[in-house]
């Protein structure tokens, strides 16, 4: 497993609606020292990119599509 796995219950976030119908969400976990922040960009058609900035490794990103159940 080369990704990141963690759980945070103490975090702050901000969300901003973009002019193209997408969303930009910034998340700062307060109880996971190795994760500085996360940026989730969601397009109007459901595609998303998650960027994670870490203190002890290179930044990592994930790309996919958000779908309902």
Tens of pLDDT, residue by residue over 4-47, are: 888 999 999 999 999 999 999 999 999 999 999 999 999 999 99
Buried b (16+ CB within 10 A) or exposed e, 3-39: eeeeeeeeeeeeeeeeeeebeeeebbbeebeebeebe
Cα(40)–Cα(25) distance, integer angstroms = 5
- Quick: pLDDT tens for 55-67: 988 999 999 999 8
């Amino acid at each position: 497993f080369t990704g990141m796995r963690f759980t945070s219950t103490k975090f702050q976030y901000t969300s901003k609606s973009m002019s193209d119908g997408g969303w930009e969400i910034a998340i700062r976990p307060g109880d996971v020292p190795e994760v500085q922040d996360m940026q989730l960009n969601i397009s109007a058609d459901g595609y998303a990119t998650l960027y994670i900035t870490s203190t002890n490794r290179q930044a990592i990103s994930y790309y996919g599509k958000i779908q309902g159940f």
